[in-house]
Amino acid sequence: MSSVQDQIENITRPVPQFGLLENAPQTTQFNKLRKRVNRLTQQAINDFAMLNESKRWLVCLSGGKDSWAMLGILMDLKQRGDLPVDILACNLDQGQPGFPANTIPDFLKKSQITHRIEYRDTYSVVTEKIPAGQTYCALCSRLRRGNLYRIAREERCDAVVLGHHREDILETFFLNLFHGGHLATMPPKLLNDEGDLTVLRPLSYCAEDDLARYSNALKFPIIPCDLCGSQDGLQRNVIKQMLDKMETEAPGRKETMLRALAHIKPGHMLDRDLFNFAAIGITPDELS
């Protein structure tokens, strides 16, 4: 396998258009965007050792801008020889009202992307369990994740790959800080509870705005994420607005916060399980 520097340099070299990127704009602006998201994705893959022992990825495709961008970027890297894994795109149709069932498979077939479409009516389960007026996201996410794990095992994939990006990571951190009372976020790589699958987030360094521009430029058939009608009033939206305001007032603030999550000093926090504060003290000899 080539070195990290070779991979990053390779991203800057043009390659023939293919599949999902067959109609990519031939503009300087898009080429810069493409190089940037490819480079940041490759960097995350390398930084968090996402390729260790990994041979087959289940790339989860919701139909939103982020998951479409992820599939395009990963296929681009694979075409360049920088992603030596088999990719299986997977869409889980959860039975939301108005979900266009043929949109994703038709586009994947046209683009000659190996895929699996799975139908599981988790929407009915969620609406039965969650009282009217409350948000469905937590239960919906758990049911979706369980089905994706099952599909990954059936397809002999060793990794479940999700399209969470920089903003998702920052928003989750502040949600846990403000509402959960602990410091935690979405890790770029984790092992599931059963210990047989890794969960990967290769877009961890990518900005949401870049992914939106990327997906729109490639004319992916984007499906909105609010088909269930339960998105109003989510605390995540409040956090998103707060972060956007901070970024507007001080450009680069989001990038600084993301770097901070990778440079934690346990001895400068208050967690007694992470740092032995009892060992800090002045010895009698030093007092004499």
Q: Write out the two tokens for 73.
A: 């970027």
- The confidence score (pLDDT) of residue 22 equals 86
Provide the whole-model pTM. 0.87
Mean pLDDT of 128-151: 80
Residue 212 to residue 216: CA distance in whole angstroms: 6
Asked if residue 148 belongs to a domain, the reply is: yes
**Domain-embedded: residue 262:** no
Q: Write the pLDDT tens digit of every residue in 85-105.
A: 999 999 998 888 888 889 999
Check pLDDT > 60 for residue 233.
Answer: no
Tens digit of pLDDT for each residue in 200-232?
Answer: 999 999 999 999 999 999 999 999 876 555 554
How would you classify the pairing of strands 198-200 and 189-191?
antiparallel
Residue 202, SS3?
A: coil
Work out the percent of the chain whose per-residue pLDDT is above 90: 69
> Is residue 66 included in any domain, yes or no?
yes
Average predicted confidence (pLDDT) for the chain: 88
What pLDDT shows up at residue 15?
47
Pairing of strands 159-161, 56-60: parallel
Tell me if residue 140 falls in helix, strand or coil.
helix
Contact present, 151 and 119 (Cβ < 8 Å): no
Q: Domain total for the chain?
A: 1
Looking at the domain assignment, is residue 173 inside a domain? Answer: yes
CA–CA distance, 101 with 117 (Å, rounded to integer): 9
CATH of residue 126: 3.40.50.620
Residue 7 has pLDDT above 90, yes or no: no
Contact (CB, 8 A) for 28 and 57:
no
Q: What is the pLDDT of residues 261-282, one digit of tens each?
A: 999 999 999 999 999 998 888 6
C-alpha closest to that of 93 among 127, 118, 67: 118
Residue 115 in any domain: the answer is yes
Confirm whether 227 is domain-assigned.
yes
The answer as to whether 133 is a domain residue is yes
Residue 31 resides in a domain: yes
Encode pLDDT of 237-251 as tens digits: 899 999 999 999 999
What is the span of the domain harbouring residue 225? 4-233
pLDDT above 80 (res 42): yes
Distance of CA 200 to the CA centre of its chain: 7
- Measured CA to CA, the distance from residue 44 to residue 275 in angstroms comes to 28
pLDDT(9) > 80? no
